[in-house]
Structure 1
């Protein structure tokens, strides 16, 4: 016992001595960049904050010879870019060695405060474009027939019907269009275009097999062909800005609100955290202007920065390419022949954004012993506009065919009715030349106060393209000049000049001048004049005054003189409402001292549009009737609709008379089958549809009243808003003694599993009822049951059933 007693005393003394040897230190605030003493553990787990904002993370650090060391993974965890720190290829680094980084290590709280310069922080990115977002497109298989009929009544009767057949599914869309004419004893049908189209919005590529218009540039001509076309299609991504736009950067000391103004108009607003930020995709500008970014903190202090901009939508963003490749045969006689394919040909166009200031172009085509190719560029001169230039050459090993009479501009179709310059047989004299060249120079500046557009094209006598091989040669010279002046916010003045020099015809030079004035409250004045500088007898002067009333009625008065012929016209029009209804137009006046009048009435409905027009001149009168619409087969139903564009939706409710709203505008009501077709939606973009349930019966419900749909091009998509009828009732539950069940008592519907509670007077609302129903009332251990039958009422009011006694054993009614 004595030995144990002495051992106990020695242990107490030793413990007391250890306690006395350890000094008690008061907490000392940590100094900046002061690591723990060398004897501290090598690994530290610290709570990290960046520029005063807690990260909410505890990360691992190590004590190094010169301070704290961090892993590169820590930077990634904090949302920082190791490349900005210069340590992308390392595993660890010393905090002391990073320029622009300061830190404060709090040894007491085990916290690490990082203070980073803006150069070390990735900017907070903002997308300022307020356009409609794109979405994965969908399609519901179906058939479509578009029709547009015109009938001329009276002695000279004539009937023309345009039609387009369309089939669409997940594999693509097939379309075929044509025109049927009947005049007197003549009857004929002309096929226009037939093709199969498949598009991929992910890669922005389109494949078209059949008839198409070839790709072209500003200095080349488009061709109608039959074959295969493969091209880049930016329309599949309506949210994508394809042209170069500047990005505005800045830094916010504290979190605040950012506002973007383009030419003084606010375009975008968003909250930004502290630190650097960058605003990208600044839209709403074409030409010269300026963008201003304003940041405001919680106290209202504002900091602004302004940047001059110049945007040209013809250019491509850096690294972006646009192309089209066609292989097939040129088409002749479009509009007069159904199958006029002749000359095998190949065509290719390419554009590439080399830099924000430079876009490169190239085009080539070959066929019929002719080869044509060239290149061009668009070069932005800072804020001074865009310069364009192109040089092309051609070579043909055989003489070109005789020239076919044609007109200026348009798409070359080989019929001699669309593109190229009208020439006589003398045009064939240039065909003997084996080659030639074409040079195009242009300049464009678009500003807030004035705009200038210049383009001049010169071609040598031997230059030719595939249109020339079809009998429509290129112009030997063409000039275009346009000058627009904004005299004030309500006045503008424009001057235009156009010149064309065919090979074997006199040159044409036309100058035009126009002035417009908006006098407010819907009143508008326009004055225009033109003159042929080669023929002084060809000239004209026109005045126009119009006024728009609040009820969609527009009144206009015009007077003019062209080539010595005077005209005076007065008109009053009202367009049909977008949701449907009647419209009308009245016109009266004189042309060359001959009285003219015109009256028209229109009706726009869910199934299409009809119009009746009567015209009178010099005692003679003509009357015509036109109608347009569509038939659509989708979702097992066939219905009539308005003429359908490139994308549409079929709204299905299952109930007739439900109003349908497209982009906050009522477009119509569902028909007897509960369907309504919404035409002319934007393909590959989110289109907002909704139904108005205010007029539905009280015993129906709609799980969703809004939907966003994105149809494919030439296709439709089903937008289902299933309207369901309630199978519900208010059930009155009593206890076994006939008194109401207590408020709040739980209730479970055995058949559906739905749970609810007892309300006042023993009432409870039960949904999803069947013919036979059972309720379990009360908590486990103190439950009762009741049974009842349900029959849907004839009216729309929800029925009240009971009272039913709730019995502990199986029973009830």
Structure 2
């Protein structure tokens, strides 16, 4: 009954209002309006800053004043938004150029859209090919030897012993080389000839090399070196393989949102990384020389990709901007090297300098002085963008009061399909060569023209790659003029693969003027990973043809046998042969062979190796040309040792193995194979990376020890297995956990052991167990009660 009454009341009220005239409300006041104010509503919030869709995880105080948001300057800098240096306190982010701010109420975030120019530059990768490993060296000595004997042929029957005595320590290397010769011709001549004696210290931190004694001068790449005795200070970047000395391109771009980036160099994947919004530079660059192409691919979370192609040119002959390479030497010229032990001449001063003025220009200079000779020169190398490198230099010499000039110009381009190199040198008739002056012996001063330097030299070479299937074509042209004589030579070479393994090579050359032509055709076919067969024919400049066939097998670095045999036949010489066999062991290397042709035959044998003293012990090994590593496994024999992931040998009965083939200053990876260890042996270290100083050696230790272990079953006070995951500590304080059924595995145990466990209720219990004296391997013990 109530609903009809309510409905009638509403309808009646509506009818009454409909008959009231509209102007009946004209005298009523207007509805109230919000009061006007110059101060918008202020809200103090704590919001997470999100920059270009990248969550920063940083929640900061934010003051919202209408559509403006104020954030502390330090908080903005924390998310890498660059501000004016004098900005401090509250900063209105909406007033920053190009910045748009949105308030996300549901997520309690402040969303910022920031232009790239106020975000910091990101650098992906390091300007280094590999991290630096500080080179080390122990203290010791070594004696390198090469014993050689020959019979027949020229220069007749003879016996010689080349040797090197070397003392090394962290503060430097002292070495001396010489040769003892016993000839059975000429009334049995016997003599010992000293070659070089020197001390070398390398400061790899400052990239300086100090030398005293006999040495070869370090000069510009296109200048001749001479032997001296004295002192030399030089910079040698080879002692710092972590430093890239030449300019490399920086590949730059901008990421508007968080992205992944991939870099491809010449079609090969080079690196990957993650980018925050903002500009970026990629400089993790592989070894590349010459022209190439880089592709940068950025991908965001939505799968959108941007691909950028960038051509580049890398010139390894230039120095990076700011780098300098130099050599300063002073002493006496070495003369009659190889025939007299102590033959020295005039005082010599030598200096050379290279400096990277910019990334595209490297300047060079040199100077040399003796009492009768003076030389100075300057030049430079300049990169022509993507077109290659041009070089030029001028050198002035003064000898016996007469001056001469040499000029040089060159060009080089190296690409994936095309290579081109051109050099041209012109000399005046009075230009004197430094090496020629030095090696003039004790004779009176000679005219500069007697040093037989060509007046003009031109060399042009090129190579064109036709593809993996079609091979490569190379050409060379040489033009040398000496006074009234001119020698010109042109050659053409072609090589290509046949199938998957066989290589075919052809070469032809012709001397202009006399019309002499030579040619060669050769095919190489590998047989497995270490052997190959070679066959071919060749034509000499006299027009005679000669056939050749041969077989070679490389000697394994870790030890074994190798050798080669070559047979050739021509009409004038008959059959010519050369054969040798090599046996390499951990202690030495033995070679023997024979060679000859019609009417002349020679047999020879050679033994080479090294005797090393390190850590108060003596070792025999293959010849140590540079540095060496002595691997120790703490007395355990027959442990396989790996060098750069390759098995190189096994430790001897003393648990030692000497590795003689180690390059100084380069990080060498040394390891042992844990899977080859007996089940009762273990090592806490199975791999190390180390670097050695030049000419030095050190011991690398792997703490191999016999394993004393046990599998124990632990019960609680009620005789039930401890719960899985129950923590406990052993006698030496090491933390471990109980497994299923109360089983635990323990290592490095002694004859008397105890454990302390923390039970689920927080209480502790202890248990003791013993092992028989001298036990090794893994014992099974238990159950034991933890009380």
Name the TM-score, length of structure 1 as normaliser.
0.81
- Aligned partner of 2:391 in structure 1 is 388
Paired residues for 1:357-756 under 5 Å: 357-396=360-399, 399=400, 433-471=401-439, 473=451, 474-489=453-468, 490-502=470-482, 506-537=485-516, 539-564=517-542, 565-591=544-570, 592-618=572-598, 621-654=601-634, 655-730=636-711, 752-754=732-734
Alpha-carbon deviation of 1:724?
Answer: 0.7
1:381-432, Cα deviation, whole Å (9 max, x unpaired): 2222211110121234xx3xxxxxxxxxxxxxxxxxxxxxxxxxxxxxxxxx
**Does 1:124 pair with 2:122?**
yes
Note the aligned Cα RMSD (angstroms): 3.4
Alpha-carbon deviation of 1:347?
Answer: 1.2
The 1:230/1:781 distance shift into structure 2, 3 A limit, reads: same
- Aligned partner of 1:55 in structure 2 is 56
- Deviates further, 172-181 or 310-319: 172-181
**Partner Cα distance (1:71, 1:364) in 2:** 61
Match of 2:270 among 257, 267, 286: 267
**Partner Cα distance (2:369, 2:390) in 1:** 28
1:472-502, Cα deviation, whole Å (9 max, x unpaired): 6354332221122223334211111223344
Contact 1:191–1:338 under 8 Å retained in 2: yes
**Does 1:355 pair with 2:358?**
yes
The 1:113/1:545 distance shift into structure 2, 3 A limit, reads: same
Matched residue of 1:334: which SS? coil
**Does 1:335 pair with 2:313?**
no
Match of 2:224 among 221, 224, 239: 221
Match of 1:202 among 194, 201, 205: 205
1:688-722, Cα deviation, whole Å (9 max, x unpaired): 22111223221111102111112222222322111
**Partner Cα distance (2:413, 2:620) in 1:** 48
Alpha-carbon deviation of 1:284?
Answer: 3.8
Matched residue of 1:694: which SS? helix
1:756-777, Cα deviation, whole Å (9 max, x unpaired): 6777888755543444555668
The 1:244/1:733 distance shift into structure 2, 3 A limit, reads: closer
**Partner Cα distance (1:758, 1:266) in 2:** 46
Matched residue of 1:680: which SS? strand
How many residues matched? Answer: 727
Match of 1:792 among 763, 769, 774: 774
- Aligned partner of 1:312 in structure 2 is 315
**Partner Cα distance (1:71, 1:758) in 2:** 52
The 1:345/1:727 distance shift into structure 2, 3 A limit, reads: same
The 1:329/1:63 distance shift into structure 2, 3 A limit, reads: farther
**Partner Cα distance (1:464, 1:642) in 2:** 44
**Does 1:88 pair with 2:85?**
yes
Alpha-carbon deviation of 1:540?
Answer: 1.7
Gaps of 5+ in 1: 1-35, 400-432, 809-813
1:312-362, Cα deviation, whole Å (9 max, x unpaired): 111111222211111222211222222222221111111112222211111
1:100-148, Cα deviation, whole Å (9 max, x unpaired): 3333356898754332112222232223889443322222222222223
Contact 1:141–1:170 under 8 Å retained in 2: yes
**Partner Cα distance (1:439, 1:132) in 2:** 39
**Partner Cα distance (1:757, 1:123) in 2:** 48
Matched residue of 2:246: which SS? coil
**Partner Cα distance (2:62, 2:288) in 1:** 49
Matched residue of 2:458: which SS? strand
Contact 2:724–2:742 under 8 Å retained in 1: no
- Aligned partner of 2:233 in structure 1 is 230
**Partner Cα distance (2:779, 2:561) in 1:** 43
**Partner Cα distance (2:545, 2:42) in 1:** 102
The 1:442/1:722 distance shift into structure 2, 3 A limit, reads: same
Contact 1:129–1:283 under 8 Å retained in 2: no
Alpha-carbon deviation of 1:514?
Answer: 1.4
Name the TM-score, length of structure 2 as normaliser.
0.84
Contact 1:566–1:593 under 8 Å retained in 2: no
The 1:765/1:618 distance shift into structure 2, 3 A limit, reads: same
- Deviates further, 224-233 or 88-97: 88-97
The 1:534/1:608 distance shift into structure 2, 3 A limit, reads: farther
**Partner Cα distance (2:113, 2:340) in 1:** 76
Gaps of 5+ in 2: 1-37, 441-450
Matched residue of 2:515: which SS? strand
- Deviates further, 107-116 or 590-599: 107-116
Matched residue of 2:174: which SS? strand
- Deviates further, 357-366 or 459-468: 459-468
Contact 2:626–2:661 under 8 Å retained in 1: yes
- Deviates further, 747-756 or 683-692: 747-756
Alpha-carbon deviation of 1:755?
Answer: 5.9
Contact 1:729–1:765 under 8 Å retained in 2: yes
Contact 1:365–1:372 under 8 Å retained in 2: yes
1:712-762, Cα deviation, whole Å (9 max, x unpaired): 22222322111011233456778999x787666979788534566777888
**Partner Cα distance (2:302, 2:47) in 1:** 33
**Partner Cα distance (1:662, 1:379) in 2:** 41
Contact 2:135–2:692 under 8 Å retained in 1: yes
Alpha-carbon deviation of 1:570?
Answer: 0.6
**Partner Cα distance (1:787, 1:205) in 2:** 61
- Aligned partner of 1:288 in structure 2 is 291
Contact 1:546–1:557 under 8 Å retained in 2: yes
Contact 1:153–1:625 under 8 Å retained in 2: no
The 1:270/1:106 distance shift into structure 2, 3 A limit, reads: closer
- Aligned partner of 1:192 in structure 2 is 195
**Partner Cα distance (1:762, 1:266) in 2:** 51
Contact 1:743–1:757 under 8 Å retained in 2: no
**Partner Cα distance (2:177, 2:709) in 1:** 52
The 1:114/1:448 distance shift into structure 2, 3 A limit, reads: same
The 1:616/1:217 distance shift into structure 2, 3 A limit, reads: closer
Contact 1:612–1:624 under 8 Å retained in 2: yes
Alpha-carbon deviation of 1:471?
Answer: 4.6
**Partner Cα distance (2:54, 2:717) in 1:** 64
Matched residue of 1:383: which SS? helix
The 1:228/1:772 distance shift into structure 2, 3 A limit, reads: same
Contact 2:41–2:66 under 8 Å retained in 1: no
**Does 1:768 pair with 2:766?**
no
**Partner Cα distance (2:690, 2:377) in 1:** 42
